[in-house]
Structure 1
Amino acid sequence: MTRPKKRFSQLIEEIDRTPWGPAEQTLVAEAVALAQEIGDEQLEYQARMRQTASANMNGATDVMLNSFAWCLARHDADPGRFPADLEYGGADLMWQFKWMASSLRSSPAFSQEQIAAVLDDMETHYRAADLGLSGVLTARFEDAWDAGRIDDAEALRVQLEATPRDDHSHCDACGRSQFAGFFAETDRDADAIRLVEEMIEGGFSCGEEPEHALSRVLVPYLRNGRGEEAKTAHLRSYRLAKDNPDNLRIVANNIVFTAITGNEARALSLVERHIGWLAHDGLNVDAHFAALAAFAVALDRVAATGHGETPVRGADAAALVPFFGPHDGPWSAADLAAAAWATAERLGAEFDRRDGTDGHARALERMRALGTESYDVPIRSDAFVAQPATVDPTDAEGWYERAMQLAQYGDEQGTLAALPHALEVADPEKRAQLLSMRLGILVALDRAEDAWPVLPERIAALRAAGKAEQADLEERLGLATFGLATPEDAAALDRELADAAALPAWSRGDLALSRASLHLRGDDADAALNLAEQAARAFAEAEDARLSNTTTLVAISALLHKGDTEAASALLDRLIAQDDLSTGHRAHALETRARIRGGSGDFAEGAADADEVCRLIAGFGATRALGSAHLLAGALWEDAGEPEKAVARFRVLARIAAQEGADATGADFRLARAMLAAGDAEEAAELFGTVLEREEKAEVEPASRAATAMLLARSLATAGEFGQAVGAYGYAADLFGQGEEYADQASAMSEQAKILARFDENDDALALLESAADIVRRAPDAVGVMADVLHNLGQAYGGRGDERAFALFDEVAALATEHEADWLRADVTDSRGRALAQLGRIDESVAAALTAADAFATIGDIGSAGGSELFAARVLVSNERGSDAVAVYRSAIEHGAEFPQLRQVAALELGDVLEGLGRHGEAAEVRALVES
């Protein structure tokens, strides 16, 4: 068993390498408890210093205040045993002082006198320790600003800027962010934007930066007509802030942005996602004030769009009663907006009484005014979806019509839901039809035990409708005519068919259709088709157009089972052209044709059919089926290369899935993928992140999560978030490894390496590629990935002049030859030329590059051919062989005819070469090409 002090040391080491969050908080609490159990105050001091920092980062204000007070008392009593700085890489005691006044200010429960005392105590400690006063001035500036003493805050800001920085100054990120927020609040938008852009360009970051800074300049960007920059800042800020409840203010700023930019649905979604954060930190009341005002602005805008009655999910949680009061049932957006304003006003008044100012009242005035501003910055990851234009029927006849259409379309669950209302119809023939549908659906759902009690009702309805022969037939056959597929049922149907000549035409058709359906389920398509034709003749004789069309759909299914797509398509076209086709049957037929067209590569035509299905079934209330129809339409538009249209369909799918409790994660995954394809990388990254979180909570198998992580990484990289992309690719690689998907693991590592190399992290990139090359050899059938990884590693070696490159190039070339990959063979030849140049093997390098150029030209890639020639020419020039380079440059210019940048670069360089050779006239002639 590990000794307590050894265990304590292990805990401290683990804490110091664990990121902020619940896992780290648990470790810290364990370390404090263990130190107390050991009875060693110096160990407890080590643990509590970390606890103060942890609580600050995770929004546990009460824990932070208590922990800091304990540590400060020990330090003041014996600074030798309890030094201010433990030198562990975290915040020291004097730095933590800066958090205290801010924390006291965040709750009106603490008086202005208490806050002032903490600030004075902080200054006393700083002076006693001979520290610079930048940290003290920062705390006093924050105090004046938060209290609404703007003139005092401005004077302190000027003084702070003139004070030399020291070890206890805010870091570059936090300092810029803080002043940017102050400038934005005091109508100095240009200064706010400048500071934040300096911060981003400099790559400055900290615990809650740059997400806080980005959120502070959202409105300044909008007011300066820079909507796209504002959108990018919002998406990045929110993505970085959305997982930590201590970031409530940051999220609040982002919610206001969505509300005033025409993204009210997104605003509502964010309110629902984060409203529970109000209960996270009971002492951070100032953040509650800011969040409530933001929620109110957002919900007012939701109401203004006509969605005021929309329920706000999560607002009725018991933990939120102190904020909104008791309420019967779910809160609507409009009602919750009023409650949020009221609570924000109450809290603001408490702060202003404490501070003796009207700072919070003025803040609310600004928020109300901001709520009236409007900017057009569409974000498509959330949108209100128009509800199907249907109204529930008001009588049994209306429900009868709905049930018929649902059944004819094939929406079994929708039909079952409509039947209880429809069965109140008085007409016994209609009741018989409805009961037949119920029986058929129950049998199809393997619920025969529920179907048997319904059969007597069906038979009674038939007799009441004057169809005694059909009633007798069904008494003899039981559930056989409703799809029960036991051998006995099939044999009974065959016997009745053999003796059916005396039966009415409708009954003969019903028998043939029932037996055809069983043949179809038994994969005997020819028999099914023959019986469908027999049924069609009988129903035509009975003049029943509805069942004639049903029979045609069965015949189409039989043809598709036979693989006769051409005949099935022709029959579908004729059926869809009929005037007597019901809406339900038309939707069914169009959906079938959409799938056939998609399978034949006619994606746009299939998508158009699927869109029409969506319109039709929305009209008769097939709510659940509407999601599936939009899924089909979106998938077909994706395949048609129309991701914008796919986004619109998948958004409806996602909304329906959320409303109906269906697969929202799958729907959001498809929506995010379509957004990425449509060029909305930032929005896609956010949505992929949400999908990944859900998959992790659901403990989805690793390889599936890895696929989501890969798309998240690709989205982040496309959006320019390269640091996060590297992490996401690394996470994907780990997950693929757990799932033993070695080719995908190697691919993720290769993508990670490409980004690292882009930022000159070449050693790390090379190490990743070497590992990826070892891993990909475990998946020899993944030829494409293997060639890519080995090629990338060869290029990395080649860039360093490492001879190992050539064996890899040989291997890739052999794969290209084996699999007739002509472009890859040309590309790896080009890479060989570049590697040879690094080693000073000039003739071989030029020969390889020109060979690559010829190969590219042969397969029609003229741009790449010109690129290889340009490289060869540069190698010659750099080795004082300008005259040899002239012809190569001219060929590159010729190949650059349709590539202006290549043509201009080659022409400029050739002009310089000709000038150096004394061929001035030719140089002028070539340079003229640039102007043309």
Structure 2
Amino acid sequence: MARPKKRFQQLIEEIDRTPWGPAEQALVAEAVALAVEVGDERLEYEARMRQTASANMGGATDVMLNSFAWCLAHHDADPQRFPADLDNGGADLMWQFKWMASSLRSSPAFSQEQIAAVLDDMEAHYRAAGLGLSGVLTARFEDAWDAGRMDDAEALRVQLEATPRDDHSHCDACGRSQVAGFYADTDRDDEAIQLVEEMIEGGFSCGEEPEHALSRALLPYLRAGRPAEAKTAHLRSYRLAKDNPDNLRIVANNIVFAAITGNEARALTMVEKHIAWLAHDGLNVDAHFAALAALAVALDRVTAAGHGDTPVRGADAPSLVPFFGAHDGPWSATDLAAAAWSAAERIGAAFDERDGTRGHARSLDRMRALATEQYDVPIRSDAFVAPTPSAAPVDADGWFERAMQLAQFGAEHETLDALPLALAVEDPDKRAQLLSMRLGILIALDRAEEALQLLPERIAALRAAGREEQAALEERLELATFGLNTPETTAALEEAISDAASLPAWSRGDLAISRAALHLQAGEADAALDLAEVAARSFAEAEDVRLSNTTTLLAISAVLSKGDLEPAITLLDRFLAQDDLSTGHRAQALQIRARVRGGTDSYVEGATDADEVCRLLAELGATRALGDAHLLAGALWEDAEEPEKAVSRYRLASRIAGEAGGDSTGVDFRLARAMLRVGDAEEAAELFGDVLQREEIAEVAAGSRAMTASMLARALGAAGEFGQAVGAHGYASELFGQAEEHADQAMSMTEQAKILARFDEQEDAIGLLEAAAEIVRRAPDAVGALTEVLHSLGQAYGGRGDARAFALFDEVAALAQQHEAGWLLADVTDSRGRALAELGRIDEAVAAALTAADGFAALGDLGSAGSSELFAGRVLAGNDRSADAVPVYRSAIEHAAGHPPLLQVAALELGNVFESLGRHGEAAEIRSHLES
């Protein structure tokens, strides 16, 4: 048995160092199974004690109840062999008692008598063990509050407040959060906010805190007229809670917040993302009640916003039938709202019948009353897709026009969707055109076999239209004129072109444009242009405006493939000036011009073109193509330094991709980046986190995930979430290391070190920088990263008076001179001055600082020049050389003229220097000048 027991001990050690989650749960299950297999109840007790805690954190209520009951029975039978506290740093048996009553209360399947018995048993065990009763009172308070016995709950809260805390009291985070929730539920919003803010300011945290407390403060913040704090609390709470199904209540609170703050699209997205959580824990029915009420509120708001017909993705899952009942087809927002209210009412009635109160009915009344509350707190990570401004065609001829326009733009999938309706036209010539489009799209989508089966229908339509010669040509060439690119089709086209003199003009044009397209695919632009000219003449002779314009677009593509951007722009401008363009051709030409303008740094003009493409595609109902067009517009506005406009385009592109069942990961990365640029750091952090999670699931390459993690870290830092930012930078550096991207790895470590240094974790910061310096030297060509890392390490050394700084400064200065980086040279010279000052080398420090100031000033950076001079003045004044400091301060003030904070500090310090010199009049003068 030695080997299994050794494995068991390894499992226990691994469990105790593994964070809560699926990996930890699997380890616990393995430990329990191994202990049972060994037949050692003492080992099983160790495993099951951990299983109770694991199940509590993971929302597996049935597992938790069974595990706890087994452990309690064994403890009661033999307390010596099965002690209440295993002293492993986890929850002991008496602490776990607090979870039991709450778990029983969470399901109406357990009677009030059973809950009371557990509470009494808990108190008996606490008294027998000589423990304080704070934990017992907490459990009784929770029971009374949840049952709707509000007077009893208030009395117990007061008693709890007067009871001394002990080792089995709720932690500071949980205690404050719980009482804050009670205050909010009893309309004491100010007191609720105060408790939550005390918790946040004190840095208190626990398993589901601070995210639960923050979610409880959302409505109080809104009602107190503090929307900015509410938004920050929501974004942080949801970001921390959204990955654990046991946080269903927390997410429910956040869904309600989104719904009543004008963020209905976001609320719908959250509903779709988390609706499956209803089936996660079958015994946590009280959480189901809260979530169903939140869903109902949110979906009512979606309906009120005009999107009641929107399908709610995921709501038709079989696991949700017990909640909503059977339904024919996808649930709409309106229908699901009604079903959610009904389910919440049914569950609430069961609870109230058990409890003999109307506590849950009261909760539903409060939720329904939210229909009269509305707050404006914009969150821009999601949006509804604007409805298509044009109505759908009403007959086959209308669908024919729609399909033609879609095909002329190149919207392949939308064209295929429209074709079945369009093919109901009676005109055989129109049918022939539609079948030609379908054949071309099938070839483009690599569905040649399907196209070959369709070809006889196309030939039959041509003959019905009286176009015998074209029918015979296609019968002979098969798929050659529809884009199939094989040696055989190319040879067949060449032969047909050489014998084309006797064919009708349209057929000659068809052969020429087909071969020109293959030349273009092969990179043979000149040959494509030659044949495009032949095609253009032929279609002009045949008076086919549509294909004449198609040929022009092909010729423009050939010109672009040669890199001739200016001639291409001229052709595009001339083409767009025509008055015979279809909507599809105009949109296609505008999209090409938008890309060309982006490639020539005319970003605003390109973005304007892309916006017009979006408008035209919306008219055509080209949904998928519309998403791509919004993405293009967003990218161009971002390049044009207009991130605000980019955000609106990206979020529409993301929503379109999501509604079409596509992958919006790449769009969401761009959206989050644009949000960060406009200062929406909290929203950006949430979205970057989502993107990273999707990339992890999809097993995206480490380097790509590293970039996302790095951006997440930046967003967290900008949002003031420095602890999480450190972790994200650390994860990014690990991923960059896996990808062997050494420069980026070193930069992530450097950013991590900067945050640590900011909070006086100097030893850890220097250790990271030293490691980063070793790594970055593996990428000597990445000069920017090399200088940044070495400079940062030098500054860290210099701040501690460590002479190793100077060799690093020398290396950075040499690189700056080599690459003519004047600003970096001035900056590292400034750093040298500060390090010299730490070592007491005053003259050298001042000289270096003034040299740095001259360097900054020569480059026009007067603010940095003034900062260096301010430092030099301080060094002089602090070393009994106040008279020498005066002209340095005066120069700093002169350079700081455009930088008010620097100017104020320099003037105030100069006034103090004058006072120390007895020059009181000058001190007063400089101060009065500052005040004026």
Q: Give, as a single letter, the amino acid of the residue that structure 2 aligns with 1:686.
A: E
Which secondary structure state, in structure 2, belongs to the residue aligned with residue 371 of structure 1? Answer: helix
**1:534–1:110 Cα change, 3 Å:** closer
Structure 1 position 376, deviation (Å)? 0.9
Contact 2:873 / 2:886 at 8 angstroms: preserved in 1?
Answer: yes
Separation in structure 2 between the aligned mates of residue 391 and residue 226 of structure 1, nearest angstrom: 43
Shifted more, 469-478 versus 904-913: the winner is 469-478
Query: Which residue of structure 2 lines up, in the alignment, with residue 523 of structure 1?
Result: 523
Amino acid of the structure 2 residue aligned with 1:283: L
Q: Which amino acid aligns with 2:550?
A: T
In 1, the alpha carbon distance for the partners of 2:480 and 2:346 equals 70
Q: Which residue of structure 2 aligns with residue 254 of structure 1?
A: 254
Matches within 5 A, 1:484-503: 484-486=484-486, 489-490=489-490, 493-494=493-494, 496-498=496-498, 500-503=500-503
Matches within 5 A, 1:184-583: 184-475=184-475, 477-486=477-486, 489-490=489-490, 493-494=493-494, 496-498=496-498, 500-583=500-583
How many pairs does the alignment contain? 932
Distance 1:363 1:814 in 2: 70
The Cα shift of 1:474 comes to 4.3
Cα offsets for 1:497-536 (capped at 9, x unmatched): 5555554443443343334333333333233323333333
Is 1:678 paired with 2:678? yes
Aligned to 1:697: 697
SS in 1 for 2:750: helix
Q: Give the superposition deviation at 1:850.
A: 0.8
* Cα deviation, residue 469, structure 1: 4.2
Distance 1:426 1:104, change over 3 A: closer
Of 532-541 and 149-158, deviating more is 532-541
Deviations 1:628-649 (A, max 9, x none): 1111111111111111211111
Rate the CA distance shift 1:73–1:822 in 2: closer, same or farther, 3 A.
Answer: same
The offset of 1:473, in angstroms, is: 4.5
Q: Quote the Cα distance in structure 1 between the aligned partners of 2:124 and 2:639.
A: 69
CA separation of 1:545/1:53 partners in 2, compared to 1, >3 Å: closer, same or farther? same
* 1:328, distance to aligned residue in structure 2 (A): 2.5
Alignment deviations for residues 85-138 of structure 1 (CA, whole Å, 9 cap, x no partner): 222111122222222222222222222222222222222222222222222222
Q: Give the distance between the partners of 1:499 and 1:923, measured in 2 at CA.
A: 99
Query: What amino acid is the match of 1:395?
Result: D
Distance 1:156 1:446 in 2: 72
Q: How many angstroms apart in 2 are the aligned matches of 1:870 and 1:685?
A: 37
Q: CA deviation at 1:83?
A: 2.2
For residue 214 of structure 1, give the secondary structure of its aligned residue in structure 2.
helix
CA distance in 1, matches of 2:892, 2:425: 81
Q: Within 2, Cα distance between the matches of 1:438 and 1:45?
A: 68
- 1: CA distance between counterparts of 2:134 and 2:772? 49
Give the structure 2 partner of residue 584 of structure 1. 584
Q: Structure 1 residue 437: deviation in Å? A: 2.6
1:71 matches 2:34 = no
Match for 2:875: what amino acid? V
Deviation at 1:34, TM superposition (A): 2.2
Instruction: Give the partner amino acid of 2:664.
Output: A
Q: Secondary structure at the match of 1:519?
A: helix
In structure 1, what is the equivalent of residue 911 of structure 2? 911
- 2:173 & 2:74 partners in 1: Cα distance? 32
Distance 1:287 1:490 in 2: 66
**2:554 partner letter:** V
> Could you say if the C-alpha distance between residues 519 and 37 of structure 1 is closer, same or farther in structure 2, counting changes exceeding 3 Å?
closer
Deviation (angstroms), 1:350: 2.0
Q: Could you tell me which amino acid in structure 1 is paired with residue 654 of structure 2?
A: A
SS of 1:619 mapped into structure 2: helix
Q: Where does residue 167 of structure 1 map in the other structure?
A: 167
Equivalent-residue separation in structure 1 for 2:325 and 2:301 (angstroms): 22
CA 1:517–1:71: 2 relative to 1, 3 Å: closer
C-alpha separation in 1, matches of 2:165 and 2:458: 89
Alignment partner of 1:246: what SS? Answer: helix
Is 569-578 or 77-86 further displaced after alignment? Answer: 77-86
- What is the identity, as a one-letter code, of the residue corresponding to 1:600? T
| CA offset digits 1:627-673 (Å, max 9, x no partner) | 21111111111111111211111112112211222222222222222
- Paired residues of 1:904 and 1:929 also in contact (CA < 8 A): no
Q: Structure 1: which amino acid aligns with 2:908?
A: L
Structure 1 residue 21: deviation in Å? 1.3
1:524–1:78 CA distance, 2 compared to 1 (3 A): closer
| CA 437–321 in structure 1, closer or farther in 2 if over 3 Å, else same | closer
Gaps (5+ residues) in structure 1? none
2:860 is aligned to 860
Partner of 1:765: 765
Give 1:477 deviation, angstroms.
4.6
Q: What does 1:16-27 align with in structure 2 at a 5 Å threshold?
A: 16-27=16-27
Alpha-carbon offset, residue 405 of structure 1: 0.9
Does residue 104 (structure 1) correspond to residue 133 (structure 2)? The answer is: no
Q: Does 1:752 align with 2:752?
A: yes
Equivalent position SS for 2:170: coil
Contact 1:594 1:605 in 2 (8 A): yes
895-904 or 501-510, which deviates more: 501-510
> How many Å apart are 1:493 and its aligned residue?
4.5
Question: In the TM superposition, what whole-angstrom CA distance separates every residue of 1:732-771 from its partner, at most 9, and x where no partner exists?
Answer: 1111111111111111111111111111111111111111
Q: Distance in 1 between matches of 2:68 and 2:518?
A: 77
Q: Distance in 2 between matches of 1:658 and 1:927?
A: 61
Cα deviation, residue 163, structure 1: 1.8
Report if the CA contact (8 A) 2:382-2:652 is conserved.
no
Q: Which deviates further from its counterpart, 686-695 or 461-470?
A: 461-470
Is 1:813–2:813 an aligned residue pair? Answer: yes
Structure 1: distance between partners of 2:438 and 2:690:
40
| Paired AA for residue 202 in structure 2 | G
- Which residue of 1 is the match for residue 741 of structure 2? 741
AA partner of residue 613 (structure 2): V
Match of 1:31 in 2: 31
Say if 1:502 and 1:373 are closer, same or farther in 2 by CA, change over 3 A: same
Q: Do the aligned partners of residues 419 and 635 (structure 1) sit closer, same or farther apart at CA in structure 2, a change above 3 Å counting?
A: same
Offset of residue 537 of structure 1 = 3.1
| 2:271–2:295 CA contact under 8 A, matched in 1 | yes
| Distance in 1 (alpha carbons) for counterparts of 2:344 and 2:784 | 59
Residues 617-766 of structure 1 mapped to structure 2, 5 A cutoff? 617-766=617-766
Amino acid at match of 2:568: A
Give the direction of change, closer, same or farther, for the CA distance of 1:870–1:324 in structure 2 (3 Å limit).
same
Report the Cα distance in structure 2 between the residues aligned to 1:289 and 1:500, rounded to whole angstroms.
75
In 2, are the aligned partners of 1:630 and 1:649 still within 8 Å (CA)?
yes
**Counterpart-to-counterpart distance in 1, 2:89 and 2:822:** 55
Task: Give CA deviations for 1:543-598 in whole Å, capped at 9, x if unaligned.
Answer: 33222222221221222122221111111111101111111111111111101100
Matched residues in 2 for 1:472 and 1:73: separation? 89
SS of the aligned residue for 2:130 comes to: coil
Distance 1:2 1:314, change over 3 A: farther
Please give the TM-score of this superposition, normalised by the length of structure 2. Answer: 0.97
CA distance in 1 between partners of 2:125 and 2:477 (Å):
96
2: distance between equivalents of 1:432 and 1:124?
Answer: 87
- Inter-partner Cα distance in structure 1 for 2:611 and 2:590: 9
Q: Deviations over 1:760-808 (max 9, x none)?
A: 1111111111111111111112111111111111111111111111111
SS in structure 2 of the partner of residue 3 of structure 1: helix
Report the equivalent of 2:605: 605
Q: State the alpha-carbon separation in 1 of the partners of residues 445 and 120 from structure 2.
A: 76
Tell me the TM-score normalized by structure 1: 0.97
Q: Deviations over 1:857-906 (max 9, x none)?
A: 11111111111111111111111111111111001100001000101100
Listed one character per residue, the Cα deviations across residues 133-186 of structure 1 (whole Å, up to 9, x for unaligned) are 222222222222122121222122122212222212111111111111111111
2: CA distance, partners of 1:206 / 1:855: 51
Question: How far did residue 485 of structure 1 move?
Answer: 4.5
Looking at structure 1, the residues matched to 421 and 853 of structure 2 have their Cα atoms a distance apart, in angstroms, of 74
Q: Quick check: 2:148–2:360 contact (8 Å CA) kept in 1?
A: yes
Q: Distance in 2 between matches of 1:444 and 1:100?
A: 62
Deviations 1:186-210 (A, max 9, x none): 1111111011001101101011110
SS of equivalent residue, structure 1 residue 374: coil
Query: Would you say the 8 A contact 1:84–1:92 is kept in 2?
Result: yes
What residue ranges of structure 2 are gaps of 5+ in the alignment?
A: none
Write the distance in 2 (CA, Å) between the matches of 1:715 and 1:642.
19
